[in-house]
Amino acid sequence: MVVKNIFKKCKAKIKNHFKKIIVLKMTPQSIAIGFSIGSLIALIPTFGLAYFVGLGIMFVTSKINKISLFLGIAFWNPLLLAPIYRYSYKLGSFIMRDLPGHTFEFPFSSDIAKVSLRFIIGNFIIALSISVLVYFAILIFFKYLNFNKNKK
């Protein structure tokens, strides 16, 4: 009897959580944070798993706009990502120019580790910067749009 009651409570909590997830938040903040998080996911190399990461984030939080999250991921297509990845490596190389690399037994492994670390550091900085800029740009745009709509 007690186990059955606990099961019903858990089922009700899960059902309530999914209802909150499905509800579409339409505030400027929720739209901006959704697009910003979608941009961050798309800019970080997820090797084709960006939409699955977006689904995971969608199920964890109910405070973001789901459509803008997936639009943020879709916006950053490979044509836009190619120059960003190039500059990610350049920024990482600039930051790590004086740091010695780790030497592996095979020289090719050392080169891969050096290039990967430089790319990841540069990409993290660029992705975070772009996501923050996108957040404020969209927030200002939707607040301006909402202000003009209320003015009429």
State CA 10 to chain mean position distance. 30
Mean pLDDT of the region 51-56: 92
Q: How would residue 12 be classed by pLDDT, with cut points 50, 70 and 90?
A: confident
Angle between helices 107-151 and 28-43 (to 10 degrees): 160
Average pLDDT, whole number, for the chain? Answer: 82
User: Which comes out higher in pLDDT, residue 72 or 111?
Assistant: 72
Q: Answer for the pair 28, 65: CB distance below 8 angstroms, yes or no.
A: no
Q: Which residues contact 102 (CB under 8 A, 6 or more apart)?
A: 110, 113
Q: What is the pLDDT of residues 57-70, one digit of tens each?
A: 988 887 888 889 99
Q: How would residue 15 be classed by pLDDT, with cut points 50, 70 and 90?
A: confident
Q: Answer for the pair 86, 55: CB distance below 8 angstroms, yes or no.
A: no
> Which sequence spans correspond to the domains of the chain?
16-151
CA-based angle 107:111:114, to the nearest 5?
A: 135
Is the pLDDT at 5 greater than 80? The verdict is no
Is the pLDDT at 46 greater than 60? The verdict is yes
Q: Which amino acid is at 104?
A: F
